[in-house]
Amino acid sequence: MNLDHIKVFFLATLILLVTSCGSDTGESTIGSENSIPEYQLALIDSFGVEMGDSINMIGSIGDFCYSTDGSILILDNTSLKVRVIPYDGDAKIICNRGEGPGEFLYPLALCAFDNNNFLVSDEMKQEVMEFNSSGEYIGSFLSTSGYVPYSMFSVNSNTIVSDQLVFDMESEIPQYIYYVGGFHPSVADPLQVYCEMSWDWTSADFYRDIDLLDFTAGSSERVYIASDVTDYRISVLYLDGLEIGEIIGSVDRIRKTPEQIELEIEEFEEWAKQDQAYMGGYQPPEYKDLISLAGIDPEGNLWIQRYGSEISFNFDVWDESNNLIFNVSFPRNVEMPDLEFHIDDHGILGANTDSEEYPRIYSFVLDEEAIVRN
């Protein structure tokens, strides 16, 4: 879960020695990193401009993914549009801002189905809207009583795994409830809840705990939950909620210095002046983020991005038996100081989402000739 989304809302995560899922514990752990191959990513294309006002000028990248036909979909939160980058044609803009059916007021997230339809969640419309590949509004996939998903992943042509925030006024003490669940348009309630957290509405832990959670899902119909991205531990579940096991990395957590924690508190308190729901007492995590869940590739492998390197982006790739099968890296450079990655059935994307730079989308493939065996 990206804290930036929460902030925006409150302004209105040999082959090594493992224990597989068929074992007694269902846990898999990283062994020696020198026992598996390492690949590099190769950059094959990018989209965006350095300056100007053409169709290539992305206002902001709220979310992005591939569609089934190979096009790249970009949710532009500034222009309130969806930008489509075909693999064999000119870019185009679809969908519109406005208060009418299928129009955007405050879009937050998107995902694409395997039938080429796509979804966009809109906070002010209190709706997850479904569109065809041309951007024509099909109807409401999901209506909510207020908050909509900040992250969505399709698992087939009519089911998604997403997060949901609920404000429970019926409790003795009002609570925020945040959960990750499976959703289908024919059912109002979630088909399954994979994890859930709740807080007294006055608790500042809300901000920290949501930011620590990450999740992903895909057509393999497996759900991966990292409840604390400062630790390398991921729960693996089937779509029906049955827990398969855990992926556990033997990577040391990195403790923040007192100065770093104090700076984070100061920065948060400065932002929180705009948040009427904040009542003080924020404490950031005492450890640095170790991982994020970048997505699931066409073979059903989970890609986990590992943080900590200033010279490269690094990934661990785990198969469906929870075995670490290879590592992947890509060197950082001045043009791409930081990227947010999305990996799905159709490829590998990275995006510069820094609001101080011109947003840009990059597409990658595995460079099989650049394999490095340790």
- For the chain, the structural domain boundaries read 3-373
Q: How far is CA 24 from CA 21, 186, 241, in A?
A: 8, 37, 19
How many residues does the structure list for the chain?
374
Model pTM score: 0.88
84-88, 99-103, 246-250, 345-349: least confident range: 84-88
Mean pLDDT of the chain: 86
pLDDT in tens, 122-157: 999 999 999 999 999 999 999 887 789 999 999 998
Give residue 38's pLDDT band: very low, low, confident or very high (50, 70, 90): very high
Architecture of domain 3-373: 6 Propeller (2.120)
For residue 374, pLDDT beyond 70: no
Give residue 373's pLDDT band: very low, low, confident or very high (50, 70, 90): low
DSSP 8-state assignment for residue 170:
S
For residue 53, pLDDT beyond 50: no
pLDDT on residue 55:
56
Distance CA 11, CA 370 (A): 46
pLDDT in tens, 174-211: 999 999 999 998 777 899 999 999 999 888 898 899 99
For residue 240, pLDDT beyond 70: yes
pLDDT on residue 254:
94
For residue 236, pLDDT beyond 90: yes
Distance CA 223, CA 9 (A): 25
